């Protein structure tokens, strides 16, 4: 496992939280967009930000697992072993949707997005309420060690 510094990790958590709140608000506002073509264009404009955020979060999960392991934080390590693969699988599904936007019709894109969006929002909410605070706790524990 790669060594992770607590200060850098805390900055990563803060950046992820900020980006996630912004993306959550933007995706939520799109979920009620009436015209499928307009929705698809909005999604295309957000594609790079969403994909980059998912890439950063996949890396974050690896770093949190490593940090928990470094500091014998068994609770966080168990949580991460249980959830990291699931989160990465969801990231992959969302990435695939955003990458495939150009090859699907606007109505299909709108239908798929409206099915994906609630799951994305649940994940964001869980991370904001549970995962990120757990990450901060783990990083702060390691500072005391």
126 pLDDT exceeds 80?
yes
Calculate the CA dihedral of residues 21, 25, 27, 33 and round it to 10 degrees: 180
Q: Both tokens of residue 141?
A: 């524990």
pLDDT of the residue at 145: 47
The residue to which tokens 């200060």 are assigned = 7
> What pLDDT does residue 30 have?
92
What are the residues whose beta carbons fall under 8 Å from the beta carbon of 73, sequence distance 6 or more?
Answer: 67, 138, 141, 142
Cα–Cα nearest to 48, from 103, 101, 112, 104:
101
pLDDT 10s digits, 17-65:
999 999 999 999 998 877 999 999 999 999 999 999 999 999 999 999 9
Min mean pLDDT across 1-10, 50-59, 83-92, 117-126 is at 1-10
Query: Above 90 in pLDDT, residue 93?
Result: yes
Confidence at residue 18, expressed as pLDDT on a 0 to 100 scale: 97
């Amino acid at each position: 496992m790669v060594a992770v510094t607590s200060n850098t990790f805390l900055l990563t958590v803060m950046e992820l939280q900020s980006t996630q709140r912004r993306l959550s608000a933007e995706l939520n506002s799109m979920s009620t967009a009436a015209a499928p073509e307009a929705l698809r264009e909005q999604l295309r404009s957000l594609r790079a930000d969403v994909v980059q955020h998912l890439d950063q979060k996949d890396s974050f999960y690896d770093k949190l697992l490593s940090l928990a392991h470094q500091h014998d934080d068994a609770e966080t390590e168990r949580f991460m072993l249980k959830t990291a693969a699931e989160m990465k699988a969801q990231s992959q599904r969302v990435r695939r949707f955003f990458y495939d936007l150009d090859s699907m019709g606007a109505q299909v894109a709108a239908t798929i997005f409206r099915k994906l969006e609630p799951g994305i929002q649940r994940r964001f909410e869980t991370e904001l309420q549970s995962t990120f605070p757990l990450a901060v706790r783990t990083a702060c524990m390691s500072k005391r060690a």
